[in-house]
Amino acid sequence: MSRLAVPKTYKLYIGGAFPRSESGRTYEVLAADGSFLANAALASRKDARDAVVAARAAVSGWSGATAYNRGQVLYRIAELLEGRRAQFIAEIEEAEGVTRAAASAQVDEAIDRWVWYAGWADKFAQVAGNANPVAGPYFNISVPEPTGVVAVVVPQDSSLLGFVSAVAPALVAGNSVVAIASERFPLSAISLSEVLATSDVPKGVVNVLTGSPAEIAPWLASHADVNALDLVGAGALDWVSLEIDAADTLKRVLRPESGADAAAPALGRIAAFTETKTVWHTKSLR
């Protein structure tokens, strides 16, 4: 007797929990051959607002942690990803229709990028900051600080690697993130959310919305409590309008990127979501 299939409905990841969309909507996620894989939540404006509230509540704790501790937490994500490597390979292979070797390469690169960014957590401030020469008996030091809540439209043509490449650098400096997953390939992003939920990442630091970026992104771009906007995966959207909406609340904006090198690891992606604080201090006259 054959078993009945048990179709899975993937939920959102907001504030460390897995709620359904408040709208009750879902959409079908299909494999590369057109067969049914699962249902995913179709996030609404209210879900986006809830995600921003959760991200805002998490900023102080995450940014207040030591840089060394943030590096440990990010490295722990890589460890857990390594432990569930086979699951992610199978998901990517089925969803994207690529070979097992290509799926394995994507997962390995995603793990390596977590490790790369984890290594920068307690080092980038020394590179991005500076001790400034000034005239007078003063120390003048510039240090990078997190900008706050970062909304991210992740690359849409990648199940896992694009998500990691866009989200990880925003976390390094102490920002919290609201990420819109790939609409076509959302399952790896939600599976990664399960990794985050069982790792040391505080609730609300990463929030994952699935559904239509065209529907969700305008609300995040215009939200007054979002401090920065990464449009790396918004090339197919009217991203100019999103940038205009973001300007109303003085958001830092990164424009779309395309191709295999979109959101490639770079120190500039960490620094893009920081603000520079300059401190003056008198020198001792003794």
User: Which SS3 state, helix, strand or coil, does residue 217 take?
Assistant: helix
Closest CA to 235 of 180, 155, 178, 148: 155
Kindly indicate the confidence band of residue 263, based on its pLDDT and cuts at 50, 70 and 90.
very high
CA dist 242 and 213 (Å) reads: 11
Cα separation of 25 and 205, whole Å?
25
Sorted by sequence, the CB contacts under 8 Å of residue 209 that are 6+ apart come out as 12, 14, 43, 47, 48, 51, 178, 179, 180, 181, 216
What value does the mean pLDDT take over residues 3-12?
88
**Beta strand 252-254 pairing with 228-230:** parallel
**Residue 242 corresponds to which amino acid?**
L
pLDDT at 140: 87
Specify the higher pLDDT residue, 135 or 230: 230
Domain definitions of the chain by residue range: 9-282
For the residues 31-50, what does the mean pLDDT come to?
96
Q: Is domain 9-282 given the CATH code 3.40.605.10 in the classification? A: yes
Query: Which pLDDT belongs to residue 281?
Result: 87
202-225 pLDDT per residue, tens: 999 999 999 999 999 999 999 999
Stretch 3-20: mean pLDDT, rounded? 92
pLDDT at 89: 97
Strand order in the sheet with 138-146: 130-131, 138-146, 274-282
Q: In this predicted structure, what is the pLDDT of residue 2? A: 83
